[in-house]
Structure 1
Amino acid sequence: MEKQTHKARTRQRILEEAARVMREKGTESIGVASLMKRVGLTHGGFYAHFSSRDDLVQEVMKQMFADSAQRVEPAAQDAPPAQRLVAFINYYLSVVHRNAPAEGCPLPALVSEVAHLPEEARQIFSQGMHSVHERLAKPLREMGHDQPEALASSMLAEMVGALALARACPDDLLADEMLARSRYALMTRAGLES
């Protein structure tokens, strides 16, 4: 029993470290040897937990989407739909989220790489994207918006794009301005007050 628990904890440490690397530097930055060194384990120990590097990437993507949902979920869970939507938009397009790519939503970190990943990884990304889309669409439906799915798609695209651009921008003031303008535009389109 203790051996299984230790193995599960070790696997989790590997997943968490790989998630940090993927969010900050992308999937191509994950090398098995360097990852295992960061975790304090040998290269050979990797294969006790994952069958391949692709297997690791897929498991990390699942973990990243689950972690991201848990960070945001409790914020306004029992609030009215408009308040939940405002809270989500404000968090997603915040300076805190911009400055914490190692803990943030995986969509901006992975979107440019996904087309080059194996089919299984693209499916995981698609499911994660659908989950984030649903976080936008559900309150829009509850608020009675016309075409909530289309509006949620447009909002998601702007949020991911704005966050990715803000992270890439070397000028913090300009990056802050991008986030603020996107927040305002999204609130306006959704009929919300910030």
Structure 2
Amino acid sequence: MEKLNHKAQTRQRILNEAAVVMRECGTEGIGVAALMKRAGLTHGGFYAHFASREALVEAVIEQMFVDSTQRFAEYTRISDPTQRLHQLIDNYLSEHHRDTPGEGCPMPALVSEMAHLPLEARRLFSARRAGLRQRLVDTLNELNHPQAEAAATSMLAEMVGTVALARACPDEAEAREMLAVSRQSVKQRAGLESA
């Protein structure tokens, strides 16, 4: 039992390190030897936990969405849907989220790479994206939004795109402006603020 527990803990340590690297550097940033060294393990031990690099990428995508769900859990527990949506939008489109890709939502970090990954990784990413979208739909339905499905789709796309663009922008003032304009736009689309 202890050996199994140690193996599970070691696998989780590899996943945690890989999740940070993948958010910061993308899927190509994960080299097996460097990752294992970063986790304080030997290169040869990798295959005791993952059948291949592709299997690692899929497991890391899953782990990143689990981490993201946990980080945003405090907002999903807010009972008032208006306050919940305000908090989610404000925090997702914040400078802190932009500046901490190693901790944030995996979508802005990985969306541009997904088309180039194996089908199973794309399916997993798509399923987790759909889950996040559905949480937006559910909240918008609580607010009696007349077009919850369409609004959730465009809100999520804008939020993910804005964070990705703000991270890529070399001009700090312009990046802050992107986030601010998008916060207002997304809130208007959600029916939280008038145009």
Task: Encode CA deviations 1:23-65: one digit per residue, 9 max, x unaligned.
Answer: 0010011111111111111111000000000000000000000
TM-score, structure 2 as length reference = 0.96
Distance 1:148 1:73 in 2: 21
Identity within the alignment, %: 62
Task: Encode CA deviations 1:85-114: one digit per residue, 9 max, x unaligned.
Answer: 111101100011111100100001110110
Show the counterpart of 2:51: 51
Show the counterpart of 2:89: 89
CA shift, 1:187, in A, is: 1.0
SS of alignment partner, residue 72 of structure 2: helix
User: Is 1:17 aligned with 2:17?
Assistant: yes
* Uncovered stretches (5+) of structure 1, i.e. residues with no partner: none
Structural mapping, 1:8-157, within 5 Å: 8-157=8-157
SS of alignment partner, residue 34 of structure 1: helix
Distance 1:61 1:189 in 2: 29
Q: How many residues align?
A: 194
Show the counterpart of 1:178: 178
Distance 1:67 1:90 in 2: 19
Distance 1:45 1:76 in 2: 38
Tell me the amino acid that sits aligned with residue 115 of structure 2. Answer: A
Task: Encode CA deviations 1:119-147: one digit per residue, 9 max, x unaligned.
Answer: 11001100111121122111101111112
Distance 2:178 2:146 in 1: 27
Distance 2:87 2:78 in 1: 12
Moved over 2 A (4+): none
Show the counterpart of 1:5: 5
Indicate conservation of the 8 Å contact 1:76/1:87, yes or no.
Answer: no
Indicate conservation of the 8 Å contact 2:145/2:191, yes or no.
Answer: no
* Uncovered stretches (5+) of structure 2, i.e. residues with no partner: none
Superposed CA RMSD in Å reads: 1.2
CA shift, 1:76, in A, is: 4.9
